[in-house]
Amino acid sequence: MSGEPGAQATQTRHLLLTAAEDLFAERGLTAVSNRQICEAAGQGNNYAVSYHFGSREGLLEALLRSHNEPIEHIRQRMADDLGYITEVRDWLRCLVQPQLEYIGTASRHTHFATLCAQMAVDPANTGILYKAAADSPSLLQILEGFYQALPALPQEAVTVRNLMTQNVLIATYADFERSRNEADAPDTVSWQAFSDAMVDGLLGLWLAPAT
């Protein structure tokens, strides 16, 4: 570790984020204290979380950002690669694949999808999760293109299918991440095949007739 204060702070933040993610995955958001995170990160200062992130909310925002930034690069790359003529399936692939590619090519076990699933059902933290999604320029671009490509649907159908898609993505990403973490050879778990199957399923959901 570098002796420079800036480098030390960066390293400490990384240790705290890694410890927090692992503990949240193992025990759940509400069962983990800041003190436990500091101890797991090897920090003698029990207030290190507050010092580096300001609050539990700041810690969660930093955790999401540490994963969302590389996912944003994948998502923007896919959006930029789209041709002039696009179909619903193309936009769904851009929506579904980035998280799976990120998880499926990680060099270590990840708990990002599990963290998102926990936050999605925790009223105290749901807003943080969806604000992080709303801050993604590429995601907003993809959603705009997706809605323009859809056939005409009643607003109620769009609202319900949005909720279904949101829940499917969050829960299924967590299931994929869990299966990869538990695999004897994680590299044999194909994120590409899983992504294609998810896109097929969601395509059926969105192109189903509205009654």
* Same structural domain, 113 and 203: yes
Rounded to whole angstroms, the Cα distance separating 45 from 88 reads: 51
pLDDT confidence band for 159 (50 / 70 / 90): very high
Q: Is 79 exposed, middle or buried (0-12, 13-18, 19+ CB in 10 A)?
A: buried
Structural domain of 65: 60-207
pLDDT confidence band for 174 (50 / 70 / 90): very high
* Same structural domain, 183 and 200: yes
* Same structural domain, 27 and 107: no
* Same structural domain, 176 and 82: yes
Provide the pLDDT for residue 2: 41
Percent of the chain with pLDDT over 70: 98
Rounded to whole angstroms, the Cα distance separating 70 from 40 reads: 25
Of the residues 10, 35, 54, which one is the last residue of a structural domain?
54
Q: What is the pLDDT of residues 78-120, one digit of tens each?
A: 999 998 878 999 999 999 999 999 999 998 889 999 999 999 9
Tally the domains of the chain. 2
pLDDT confidence band for 5 (50 / 70 / 90): low
> With 80 as the cut, is the pLDDT of residue 58 above it?
yes
* Same structural domain, 66 and 158: yes
Provide the pLDDT for residue 4: 43
> With 50 as the cut, is the pLDDT of residue 127 above it?
yes
Residues 57 and 49 sit within 8 Å (Cβ to Cβ) = no
pLDDT confidence band for 3 (50 / 70 / 90): very low
Task: For the chain, give the mean pLDDT.
Answer: 92
* Same structural domain, 152 and 125: yes
* Same structural domain, 124 and 40: no
* Same structural domain, 50 and 151: no
Each residue of 16-54: b (16+ CB within 10 Å) or e? bbbbbbbbbbeeebeebebebbbebbebeeeebbeebbe
Give me the CATH number covering residue 23: 1.10.10.60
Provide the pLDDT for residue 121: 93
Q: Is 111 exposed, middle or buried (0-12, 13-18, 19+ CB in 10 A)?
A: buried
> With 50 as the cut, is the pLDDT of residue 1 above it?
no
Rounded to whole angstroms, the Cα distance separating 6 from 163 reads: 43
What backbone torsions phi and psi does residue 85 show, to the nearest 5 degrees? -100, 120
Residue pointed to by tokens 């969660």:
60
Of the residues 54, 74, 90, which one is the last residue of a structural domain?
54
* Same structural domain, 50 and 64: no
* Same structural domain, 193 and 162: yes
* Same structural domain, 49 and 69: no
* Same structural domain, 118 and 159: yes
3-state percent helix, strand, coil for the chain, nearest multiple of 5: 75, 0, 25
